[in-house]
Amino acid sequence: MKHLILFSVLLLSFLVMSCSPSYQTLFQKYSKIDLASNTPPEQSQENISIKLLPINDNEYEKTWYKQSIAIPFINVNTNQQMIAKQDHIIYLYKDLTVFQVTIINNTDHILRMRDSRVVYIDPDKDEPIFAYDKSSMLEDVKGLPCFIEAKGRIANKNPISDFNILGTSIAVGVKNILDNISFVNGFNKEVMPGMKATGYIIFPIDPQKATEGKISFIDMVSQTDQTGNPVKKVRFDYKVLAMKKYLKSVYDQNEGKYLPWTEIDENEYAISQTRK
């Protein structure tokens, strides 16, 4: 009898271990445009300072990127269309180049961003690429890479009965996120004397297809005459490079979830791929 009990305990333990989910460390790589190593993130000229930084890898932990999306489906029992709500992260910056910018105005006049231009200069192209402003992104929400990616991702996980309803819901979600994003290059953006403004610049540039270039703030008005007309302007240039980033996320058994992504070196990522 004792042997039977011992065998039963061992068998039960084996079954529990066999049925327990096996969580692996997740790995990913992606490209992003970063400042070149010899480019200082903060520059100052004529009482104007600009600090340019790539966005943090944990940017999507902010609450507004998670949107409640309407999922239209057909009820198999009633054969009627129904709507379910699901929370999904909208990756607003997918296939775009994004930097956070802080502009400090120590001049004696209002710094109006409509007087300047923010561009990305590719050395292999004749024309600069202008940064998005909020209105241009709102006008073409369904053409943004984040919209196309979200629609495909959600449809792949759900039986969708009406793609128009799904698309409209995702578009609303993207607009909700844009309402929370501050653009430093907005037409009505102004920085008062002795104050600063922080926000984002977004370029329609896929980091995976970029190599190197320059982000330039052109015609920043550093001095005006008595009537407020510009009499002196300065320019800020930041050399940038496309770089590969490697990340991993470890499953925490105590928390019951994957931990936030952390950056690793290329060698660790390469080793992880050989184990597959």
Per-residue pLDDT tens digits for 137-162? 999 999 999 999 999 999 999 999 89
Determine the pLDDT at residue 17. Answer: 43
Mean pLDDT of the chain: 87
Determine the pLDDT at residue 23. Answer: 64
Q: Is residue 228 part of a domain?
A: yes
Determine the pLDDT at residue 172. Answer: 97
Q: Is residue 18 part of a domain?
A: no
Among 211, 257, 225, residue whose Cα is nearest residue 36: 211
Phi (first) and psi of residue 11, to 5 degrees:
-65, -45
Structural domain range at position 55: 37-239
Segments in the chain forming alpha helices (H): 2-19, 134-139, 145-157, 163-180, 266-274
**Domains held by the chain: number:** 1
Determine the pLDDT at residue 254. Answer: 83
Q: Is residue 172 part of a domain?
A: yes
* Res. 66 pLDDT band, cuts 50 70 90: very high
Q: Is residue 216 part of a domain?
A: yes
Q: Is residue 16 part of a domain?
A: no
Cα–Cα distance measured from residue 180 to residue 200, given in angstroms and rounded to the nearest whole number: 11
Task: Identify the three-state secondary structure at position 207.
Answer: helix
Q: Is residue 27 part of a domain?
A: no
Q: Is residue 192 part of a domain?
A: yes
Q: Is residue 81 part of a domain?
A: yes
Per-residue pLDDT tens digits for 88-102? 999 999 999 999 999
Written as six digits, the tokens of 264 are 């690793």
Mean pLDDT of 109-130: 92
* Res. 19 pLDDT band, cuts 50 70 90: very low
